């Protein structure tokens, strides 16, 4: 953001935010399509429809994943992501209010940005975005941000149609370490090898693409994670009430081999979905046996399932793939595939049949049996920030 613009916005917020906080009360059962009263102050930077404002380097936020938006507001409030105006605004919002803001903007559709003066950019940008650079260890951006930069909810935002200057600034901040609020430091790993020319090429490539429409609610359903009295991990639809402070996540609908009878059922599936009430679904994780991490490592090392061709995996010499994300630090990440709560039962279910849990994932069903998945999950569970224990 330009210094003069930042100072102007910060000064404006200093006057407006106390009044915004005083008037912002979330009505019980408020429709997430209705603009929260205090969101009128977001218009100054992010536009009437969340379309963004290049003059302030304020990004387009309309249609971004609800979980992603709520997380960014939480990170601004906690100082994990830095920006004077956004930190001040986020700190005046209660956690449940931040969830309401996120729900509203995630469902908002804004007109596409003007593309005057933009072309498709240098071929280098397209190659880095879609294929990466194996020789330099650069992963394809599409692995996490989807084809055409459309994003992969809940945690990976769309990049298509964002402002060139904002994209350049964001990529550079990940590279120089001034932004670090992602799970598992994946962005630092991905952006680290990029040169200034690479960053400019990527920013121009994505800025020239049309932004996607908001994701349908039946594909990505907001949920809140908690623990039942019996110790079973559950997740249910998020709202704007006080319980939202417990944490917000999103998931894709379950189908195929992962469907089960839900709460109280005797299904042997690691993860089961059931209808709880109209428009609300519950994700429950059934216990799975302890695996043998040594056997899991041996299964991966054989290369029979293709894991080492796509991923870099600590402790396995031949695993130097860059198609999928590196698995170092997997045990410390909060999400699996950017969509699912990172716990052992869910990881086992995902390894058994990734597309059934995350339909838009780039990871195919690699043919792991349930027993193999349990052992592989045990090994992956040893991969903390420093690699295998």
For 97-107, what is each residue's pLDDT tens digit?
Answer: 999 999 999 99
Tell me the mean pLDDT in the region 147-165.
89
CA distance 37 to 271: 39
Topology of domain 293-388, CATH: Cytochrome Bc1 Complex; Chain D, domain 2 (1.10.760)
For 193-228, what is each residue's pLDDT tens digit?
Answer: 999 999 999 999 999 999 999 976 544 444 333 333
Please give the structure tokens belonging to residue 191.
Answer: 């952006």
pLDDT at position 281 is: 30
The CATH number of the domain covering residues in 3-22+35-106: 1.10.760.10
CA distance 192 to 185: 11
Using an 8 Å Cβ cutoff, are 293 and 375 in contact? yes
Strands (E), the chain: 221-227, 233-237, 248-251, 271-277, 280-285, 335-336, 340-341, 383-384, 387-388
Tell me the mean pLDDT in the region 76-88.
94
Cα–Cα distances in angstroms (integers) from residue 317 to residues 193, 226, 274, 376, in the given order: 21, 38, 42, 16
Who contacts 85 (Cβ-Cβ below 8 Å, separation ≥6)?
A: 6, 9, 10, 13, 45
pLDDT at position 122 is: 78
CATH class of 133-207: mainly alpha
The pLDDT of residue 6 is above 60: no
Asked whether the whole model's pTM tops 0.75, one would answer no
Q: SS3 for 388?
A: strand
- Listed by start position, the domains of the chain span 3-22+35-106, 133-207, 221-285, 293-388
Q: Which helix (H) or strand (E) holds 116?
A: none
For 294-325, what is each residue's pLDDT tens digit?
Answer: 999 999 988 888 888 788 899 998 777 776 78
């Amino acid at each position: 953001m330009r210094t003069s613009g930042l100072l102007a916005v910060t000064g404006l917020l200093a006057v407006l935010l106390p009044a915004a906080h005083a008037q912002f009360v979330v009505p019980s059962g408020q429709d997430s399509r209705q603009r929260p009263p205090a969101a009128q102050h977001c218009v100054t930077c992010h536009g009437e429809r969340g379309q963004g404002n290049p003059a302030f380097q304020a990004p387009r936020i309309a249609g971004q994943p609800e979980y992603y938006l709520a997380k960014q507001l939480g990170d601004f409030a906690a100082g994990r992501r830095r920006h004077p105006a956004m930190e001040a605004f986020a700190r005046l919002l209660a956690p449940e209010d931040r969830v309401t803001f996120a729900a509203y903007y995630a469902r908002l559709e804004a007109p596409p940005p003007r593309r005057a003066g933009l072309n498709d950019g240098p071929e280098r940008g397209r190659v880095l975005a879609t294929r990466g650079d194996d020789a330099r260890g650069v992963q394809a951006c599409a692995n996490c941000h989807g084809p055409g930069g459309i994003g992969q909810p809940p945690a990976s935002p769309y990049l298509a149609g964002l402002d060139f200057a904002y994209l350049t600034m964001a990529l550079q901040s990940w590279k120089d370490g001034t932004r670090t609020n992602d799970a598992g430091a994946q962005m630092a790993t991905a952006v680290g090898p990029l040169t200034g020319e690479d960053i400019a090429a990527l920013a121009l490539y994505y800025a020239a693409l049309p932004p996607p429409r908001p994701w349908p609610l039946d594909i990505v359903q907001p949920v809140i994670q908690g623990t039942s009295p019996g110790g079973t991990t559950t997740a249910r639809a998020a709202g704007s009430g006080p319980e939202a402070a417990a944490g917000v996540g999103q998931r894709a609908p379950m189908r195929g081999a992962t469907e089960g009878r839900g709460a109280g059922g005797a299904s042997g599936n690691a993860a089961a979905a059931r209808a709880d009430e109209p428009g609300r679904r519950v994700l429950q994780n059934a216990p799975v046996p302890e695996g043998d991490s040594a056997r899991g490592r041996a299964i991966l090392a054989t290369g029979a399932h293709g894991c080492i061709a796509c991923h870099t995996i600590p402790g396995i010499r031949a695993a130097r793939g860059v198609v999928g994300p590196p698995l170092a630090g997997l045990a410390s990440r909060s999400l699996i595939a950017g969509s699912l709560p990172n716990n052992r039962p869910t990881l086992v279910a995902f390894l058994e049949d990734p597309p059934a849990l995350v339909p838009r994932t780039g990871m195919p069903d690699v043919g792991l049996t349930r027993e193999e998945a349990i052992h592989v999950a045990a090994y992956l569970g040893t991969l903390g920030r420093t690699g295998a224990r």
